[in-house]
Structure 1
């Protein structure tokens, strides 16, 4: 059990860090905005109070204390949960001899968490349908989760 938790934390954090570096690269080279982790923190902070959907958009909801820290923390916790899902499905042996296909499957399947839970909850609609450029947002979501998959695989190789 301890090995499972340790691998989930390390692999998930490594994959999430690679995704953050990817977002920084997109920001520096193409001028794309860095993800708004304070809004993610605001959304997560509302969950215990039963506030699941911000119909007017998360930006119009009142800020909450420490929302940026909450957003960053939940970003990494989510990556660790997705790594744990990979290890639950493919077993700890996957971490000893990683294969890219399982990481890619998890990366692509987890796009659904953003499209069908987080984005509607933040008031952006299903699969960013309410975003200014929904097709671009969807493409960036999919590519970002492929980068996350590369991070899962690469971190497992390093471990």
Structure 2
């Protein structure tokens, strides 16, 4: 179990860091806005208070440390998704990583954003309330494919 935890940490942090570098590239090259980790942190901070959905997260009062909460949760979720790969495909996957399992988890996990986070923040299912919903969906899918690639690459480099 300790090996699952340690490999999940390394692979999840590595894949999430690659995703963040990708987002920075998209921002610098194409003007795609960076994720608002303070808003994400605000959403997470309200969960223990029993509030799972907001009309719009921007209208919800800020909480102390929301930016840090958002960044920490971003990386913890990356670690959790890495653990899912290891739990489904086993530690042998981490020892001899293949791309397909990582891409499957990357693609499937876009649903967490589309069906949990975005509706909870007031953006509708799969960002349906956003004026640029199709763009948000496409970028989200591409980002999760990049994250899946990052799972594989980090596992490959760490084996």
Q: Answer whether TM exceeds 0.5 for this pair.
A: yes
Distance 1:131 1:69 in 2: 25
Following TM superposition, by how much is the alpha carbon of 1:32 offset from its aligned partner in structure 2, in angstroms?
1.1
Instruction: Find the counterpart in structure 2 of residue 119 from structure 1.
Output: 118
Instruction: Find the counterpart in structure 2 of residue 106 from structure 1.
Output: 105
Runs of 4+ in 1 over 6 A off after TM superposition: none
Q: Deviations over 1:99-123 (max 9, x none)?
A: 0000000000001100000000000
Instruction: Find the counterpart in structure 1 of residue 53 from structure 2.
Output: 53
Taking structure 2 as the reference length, the TM-score comes to: 0.98
Instruction: Find the counterpart in structure 2 of residue 153 from structure 1.
Output: 152
Distance 1:134 1:24 in 2: 21
Matches within 5 A, 1:71-150: 71-150=70-149
Following TM superposition, by how much is the alpha carbon of 1:144 offset from its aligned partner in structure 2, in angstroms?
0.1
Distance 2:67 2:129 in 1: 23
Q: Give the length in aligned residue pairs.
A: 158
Taking structure 1 as the reference length, the TM-score comes to: 0.98
Matches within 5 A, 1:12-23: 12-23=12-23
Distance 1:108 1:30 in 2: 23
Following TM superposition, by how much is the alpha carbon of 1:157 offset from its aligned partner in structure 2, in angstroms?
0.4
Distance 2:51 2:14 in 1: 31
Distance 1:100 1:154 in 2: 8
Instruction: Find the counterpart in structure 2 of residue 39 from structure 1.
Output: 39
Distance 1:73 1:93 in 2: 28
Distance 1:101 1:86 in 2: 11
Gaps of 5+ in 1: none
1:67 maps to 2:66? yes
Following TM superposition, by how much is the alpha carbon of 1:97 offset from its aligned partner in structure 2, in angstroms?
0.4
RMSD: 0.5
Distance 2:9 2:123 in 1: 29
Distance 1:132 1:20 in 2: 24
Distance 1:115 1:72 in 2: 19
